[in-house]
Amino acid sequence: MIEHRTESFDGTDVDLVTIHNGPWKAVVTNLGARLTELHVPGRNGETADVVLQRPTLKEMAHDDNYFGATAGRYANRIRNGRFTLDGAEVRLGINEGQNHLHGGITGFDRFRWQTHVDHQMDSVRFSRISPDGEEGFPGNLDTRVTYTLAPPALLIEIRATADASTIANIVNHAYFNLGGHDSGTVLDHVVRMRSSFYTPVDDELLATGEVRTVEATPFDFRTATPIGARLDQIHNGAAGRQTDRSAGYDHNFVLDGTGMREVFEATDPASGRRLILSTDQPGLQFYTGGYLHGVTAKPPLEAYPAHAGFTLETQTFPDSPNFAHFPSPRLDPGQTYQNSIRLEFATV
């Protein structure tokens, strides 16, 4: 069952769509093609909302944490906001120091998308055309983001086509806490990841171009490990050695295998909820919310603590346009960009 309503803030109408299927519920909005709620059952049958979100639409519209949003046209960071395409330098919007992050000053997360509801399939599709030159990107980009609630999974399909050569790396930026968004931190969540390599970052959290093994590092999740077990071992950009657990993980993991496959699972020991991620992308930005302390939260909380949730940003690699040995984000006319995400839930 789908309920479609409209709310307003500052004279702006926004669509909110709720998808129900038994005890499962997902709420999405066309403001940033964003996931705002996801209610799933736990070990004892009780449901909890497992995604973080801001308390009002106005705060969502100006949210620099990208809670639940579709981030693009190019998610993650591009050094100096520049890259070369067919011999010509492309200059992008600068919104983090001297660099480009998550689509620039006015990325996909800031727009109201067109809403298309499919009652029969329990799905909602959001669409928009990013015009040529938006945030400096070449070509008109026609993007569609579809959310389908199909228990025990939420499916997210991102597709895009362009009328000129460009780049695309469009991700979902939801934050998850399997104990419930209001249950504290995710440091006790146990994670297993099919990743044998990761891409290091420098003091600005920019990719260095290296690809390193996870062997004998705090980035080795090939064996199930609590998120908080090795935070004091991470050297993460300007945060330095994080003995205060101030930042934690915010890194791209190189995923083993190709095609649509299971790559990640997280388990909350307290509630028994388990999340299994499948994707067709080569990389996963795993961010554990180290900078969320004090960010306003939806009820019953007033604010989130640090490490209140983690992201699973399925992607190409950060700054791929500037590293020829990274997966190419190039999109030419006649091609279709796709990012397929399956979030399956279970209990243990």
Per-residue pLDDT tens for 66-78?
999 999 999 999 9
Contact 206, 77 (CB under 8 A): yes
Instruction: Give the gyration radius of the chain's Cα atoms.
Output: 19
Is 162 labeled as ligand-binding?
no
pTM exceeds 0.75: yes
**pLDDT confidence tier of residue 253, bands split at 50, 70 and 90:** very high
**pLDDT confidence tier of residue 246, bands split at 50, 70 and 90:** low
pLDDT at res. 245: 42
Name the active-site residue from 37, 134, 135, 313.
Answer: 313
Contact 274, 262 (CB under 8 A): no
Is 230 labeled as ligand-binding?
no
Inform me whether the pLDDT recorded for 244 exceeds 90: no
Is 122 labeled as ligand-binding?
no
pLDDT in tens, 156-184: 999 999 999 999 999 999 999 999 999 99
pLDDT at res. 194: 99
**pLDDT confidence tier of residue 58, bands split at 50, 70 and 90:** very high
Inform me whether the pLDDT recorded for 46 exceeds 60: yes
Average pLDDT over residues 225-241: 73
User: Nearest 5 degrees, angle CA 21-CA 347-CA 311?
Assistant: 80
Is 76 labeled as ligand-binding?
yes
- 307 among known catalytic residues: no
pLDDT in tens, 183-219: 999 999 999 999 999 999 988 889 999 999 999 999 9
Name the active-site residue from 100, 134, 135, 173.
Answer: 173
pLDDT at res. 239: 39
**Listing from the earlier edge strand, what are the strands of the sheet with 337-347?**
114-118, 123-130, 141-150, 153-162, 337-347, 273-279, 261-267, 190-193, 225-226
pLDDT in tens, 100-125: 999 999 999 999 999 999 999 999 99
Token pair belonging to 87:
């011999």
Kindly list the structural domains of the chain, giving each domain's residue range(s) and its CATH number in brackets, ordered by start. 2-347 (2.70.98.10)
**pLDDT confidence tier of residue 242, bands split at 50, 70 and 90:** very low
**pLDDT confidence tier of residue 235, bands split at 50, 70 and 90:** low
In DSSP terms, which residues pair with 197 in a beta bridge?
Answer: 213, 254
Contact 263, 329 (CB under 8 A): no
pLDDT in tens, 279-309: 999 999 999 999 999 999 999 999 999 999 9
- 313 among known catalytic residues: yes
pLDDT at res. 212: 97
